[in-house]
Structure 1
Amino acid sequence: MPFRTRSVVALLLAWLALVSHSQAQQVSTLVPNINASGGVSVGPDGNIYVADFGQFLSNANGTTVYRVTPQGQVSVFATGFNGASGNVFDTNGNMLQANIAGGRIDSIAPNGTVSTIASSGFTSPVGVAIDSGGNTFVANCGGGGSISRIQGGVGVPFVSGAPLNCPNGLTIDPDDNLYTANFNDGNIVRITPGGAMSILATTPNSSFRPSGGNGHITYGNGRLYVVGNASAQIFELTLDGQLTLIAGNGTRGHDDGPALQASFSSPNGISLSADGRFLYVNEAASTSGTVLVAPSFPLNPSLVRVIDLGQQFSINVGINGAWADATTPGQGMFFDVLASLGLFFMGWFTYETNQDFVPVIDDRGRRWLVALGPINGNVVNLELLVAEGGQFDQADPVTETPVGSAVLTFASCTEATFEYQLDNGLSGTIPLTRLLPDVYCALLNQGGS
């Protein structure tokens, strides 16, 4: 009997691993009528910000960015744009907005004040993304396709040419790899920090757009979410290239309901809620004609739809234990979830650098840092501390000194990302995997605890 019990548990855990992708549950309409055909971004305040590209693909005359609450209330956030296309929020809460017809990038302060941060070096800019160092990248649809980096108030070339083909949306992962979704074909292109480009996946075409084509793309929950504009569907894409349909039956319409039975019409922008549960997508109200030919297919009026991905991964006591990055042997972390207190404790074993941010312990430069922070879903915000003043096997008092901060984000029971910022200026991102097989974390998460 014990053997059979273990076998059943092993099979169950294997099954849970197979279904660990974001299985969308329901699609609903948040806003049934709005003139907002451009990019979509969820702000730090939890509201959804939707830009107006314009009336037709050939006439990018949209001037407004709207604020939409999660309850569907609409208000004007900012105006004065020239074809408001892709957008993204920076770490200060400002929204960077591309102007595809104006050839510039604007910054919108939280109070709606607009200022231009770069006005040259772009050719029909659409997607915008910001890396861990604060560098801003822009996807240019025109001129065959390119990615620019903003430097000194202008866009300077980063990469160009094939496989870019009117790159539309743009997003970035914790390792600073960029991902763009081509509008003129179905290819999703990965661009490394060094500028190497490769096709990660391709979304389907349709009779509506035989050559295929994508809307925007966003990163979250440890994966990518892609708008298939041609196929009128929404996809999940893992970073190793596995493409999975999560919403849309492939016909053009606005049917709400179970995700794979729902329908979309020329969907474009996409963004993920902070808790990783809801995807927000805008789309055209029209369901006839072709988006490539004006005026047969107006982009406005449009709708804002919500895709409920269901309960996402939440931190639980099943993740306790040792975690590490395989590329840095001899270093790692130990995690301990204090569930009753809603707190997370970790110890980080690493080594000294040539920048002494803690006192020397021994001539080998071993270092232990500790941290404690509140649990928020799949994320922990941590204050990093180093203990000072103690002696080996003695009861001497110990002082804990803050040396930095970190954000720990779990994608699953076996994968996490550790982003750190030390007070001496050192910063970086460490991908983590657990060192031992999961025993019951997946079971606890499946039960929502």
Structure 2
Amino acid sequence: MNKSHIRKRAALLLCFGTVAGFVHAQYGSPFSNLATTGSGSSPMGLTIDAANNLYVSNYNTGSISKITQAGVVSTFATSVGARLDQMTIDNAGNIYAVSSTGSWSSSVKKVTPTGSVSTLANVPGGGLGPTGTIGIAVDKTSGNIYTTDNTGNTVSRITPAGVLTSFTVGSKPIGIALDGAGNIYTANWGSNTVSKLSPAGTLLATYPVGPNPWGVTIEPVSGNIYVSNAGPYDGGGSPSPNGTVSKITPAGVVTTTWATVGNAADAITTDAAGNVYVVNSYGGTVSEITPAGVVTTLNLPTASGTPQTQLYPWSILISSGRAYVAVSGTDMVAATPLVASLPVTFGSINATQEGDMLSVNWQTVSETNNDHFDIEVSQDGVHFVKAGTVTSNAVNGNSHKALRYVFTTPLHTALSLAGLSVLALGIGLLAFNRKNKLLMLCLIAAGTGLFTVSCSRNSDLVDTNKEANLSVRIAQVDKDGKKSYSPVVKVIRK
């Protein structure tokens, strides 16, 4: 596609970037060229299989390229269809790609894992005009395929057998997404709305959003819906220099301009930490937006003689710790690693002692796959013992909002545990040779002393003058048993 042709064509829609294998995303390095799909191929759509092989639909050549994680490119299928656009993949590894005839009609092509190509169904929509892209999604439970009709006001449901049923939505839908319950959401370019339909096709709600919405995605933990809005077009067919993102809560509360992004906001997806990613097709950039709405602009790699504004990125996908972008203007797929951080982001942590009672108060900013917290106490800031456990308040261990926790225990109980742990360590050394005997005797003496004294509520270990060095840390334990720690905090005496 040349520049003039792209300017006539709508910016992509969305990419169903499934997040897997990482807990928090923020770009840790600039994008680099993962692979090139062939001169003049114009890569458009992206999808990925269970083995992390990437598949790219090439608009100009009508082929699908396969790219390994090492960047090795091969042609997976040829002569799939004219003007290949967006793609999706089912649980069996079958790929479904939209092929447009250029006369406002399209077909859904099915490509099996062996590369065999067939036409699943003919669908309305597509073409070369200002809304030339139509969306596609798959319900991985039923196997049904959904496409949008960007020339009318319907969404098509196609069964695995190729039976097509149409449902009415807003004007000129482009982007499409499904939630975990099978509800359908469409971004309606012609009416500046998002439609929500039940799995049976009943219209459940219509939400007003920003001008010229293109992509729609659903953050699965919070249930928030995010919509990329290209912005108003001028008389020459160019979008506003700044697109926007609208946010819709599960309760239906709409923030029309939740974030301002780059030129021609198009593809949109989220990660497991609730961050939102938007490709700006006429700006040659990716916008990363935190759950709080903070925007960071990330440049894509340029090629010799190709300015940033002529890169034309169309799709974005996030999977297994990497982000991928289809860059049509340079026939490349760009990628960047994502930096994994702790599954729990801690906020404030305070520990206080009042008499014999130890109280620990803390806040989490976000939690991913979290099961529980172990509260650990130390008298030297180095050796810690568990004083108790608090179960995560996050639903299914996942939350993108602030949660508060309180833990209280008699201090002598925690110190008794500390003494027992040291005593056990000393006794364990009995199994070693004589060189460890002196250390063993010291540890047994220390542990016995700690345990004996701490059992007394009036002991010196809880004396105001002698317990100024108590410290606390919080161990966060994942559902898979992995553990990470908060910073160590000093216990403040009241």
**TM-score bin, normalised by smaller chain:** 0.5 to 0.7
Which has the greater radius of gyration? 2
Preserved CA contact (<8 Å) 2:370 2:394: no
Q: Tell me the residue number matched to 2:476.
A: 441
**Cα pair distance change 1:153/1:189, threshold 3 Å:** same
- Gaps of at least 5 residues in structure 2 are 1-22, 127-132, 210-225, 244-263, 346-368, 375-391, 407-473, 478-482, 488-494
Q: Distance in 1 between matches of 2:177 and 2:197?
A: 12
Q: Deviations over 1:223-253 (max 9, x none)?
A: 4533232443324568x8x65534435xx86
Preserved CA contact (<8 Å) 2:84 2:97: yes
Q: Distance in 1 between matches of 2:402 and 2:239?
A: 44
Q: Distance in 1 between matches of 2:24 and 2:193?
A: 19
Question: Could you say what secondary structure the match of 2:115 adopts?
Answer: coil
Question: Could you say what secondary structure the match of 2:484 adopts?
Answer: helix
Alpha-carbon distance, 1:112 to partner: 1.0
- Counterpart mapping for 1:190-229 below 5 A: 191-193=196-198, 194-195=202-203, 196-198=205-207, 199=209, 200-203=226-229, 205=231, 209-211=238-240, 213-221=264-272, 223=274, 224-229=276-281
1:71 aligns with 2:70: yes
Question: Could you say what secondary structure the match of 2:122 adopts?
Answer: coil
Question: Could you say what secondary structure the match of 1:111 adopts?
Answer: coil
Alpha-carbon distance, 1:120 to partner: 2.9
1:303 aligns with 2:332: yes
Q: Deviations over 1:332-351 (max 9, x none)?
A: x995799xxxxxxxxxxxxx
Q: Distance in 2 between matches of 1:148 and 1:84?
A: 18
Question: Could you say what secondary structure the match of 1:45 adopts?
Answer: coil
What amino acid maps onto 2:285 in structure 1? Q
**Cα pair distance change 1:334/1:66, threshold 3 Å:** closer
Pick one of 28, 37, 48 that aligns with 1:42.
Answer: 48
Q: Tell me the residue number matched to 2:380.
A: none
1:232 aligns with 2:284: yes
**Cα pair distance change 1:435/1:267, threshold 3 Å:** closer
1:53 aligns with 2:56: no
Pick one of 324, 333, 339 that aligns with 1:280.
Answer: 324
Pick one of 109, 115, 124 that aligns with 1:122.
Answer: 124
**Cα pair distance change 1:280/1:446, threshold 3 Å:** farther
What amino acid maps onto 2:138 in structure 1? I
**Cα pair distance change 1:82/1:203, threshold 3 Å:** same
Q: Which has the higher helix share?
A: 2
**Cα pair distance change 1:254/1:92, threshold 3 Å:** same
Alpha-carbon distance, 1:270 to partner: 1.6
Pick one of 166, 181, 206 that aligns with 1:157.
Answer: 166
1:271 aligns with 2:300: no
Preserved CA contact (<8 Å) 2:137 2:145: yes
Q: Deviations over 1:132-184 (max 9, x none)?
A: 5325343335314542211452432234324xx4514x333434344556778
**Cα pair distance change 1:85/1:174, threshold 3 Å:** same
Q: Deviations over 1:88-111 (max 9, x none)?
A: 111112112221336221221111
CA RMSD, 1 decimal? 4.6
Alpha-carbon distance, 1:122 to partner: 2.6
Q: Distance in 2 between matches of 1:190 and 1:23?
A: 30
Identity of aligned residues (%): 21
Q: Tell me the residue number matched to 1:29.
A: 33
**Cα pair distance change 1:272/1:147, threshold 3 Å:** same
Q: Distance in 2 between matches of 1:104 and 1:166?
A: 17
Question: Could you say what secondary structure the match of 2:91 adopts?
Answer: coil
Pick one of 80, 91, 113 that aligns with 1:110.
Answer: 113
TM-score for both structures, normalised by structure 1:
0.52
Q: Deviations over 1:238-278 (max 9, x none)?
A: 8x8x65534435xx86289xxxxx988221012121x2x21
Q: Tell me the residue number matched to 1:81.
A: 81
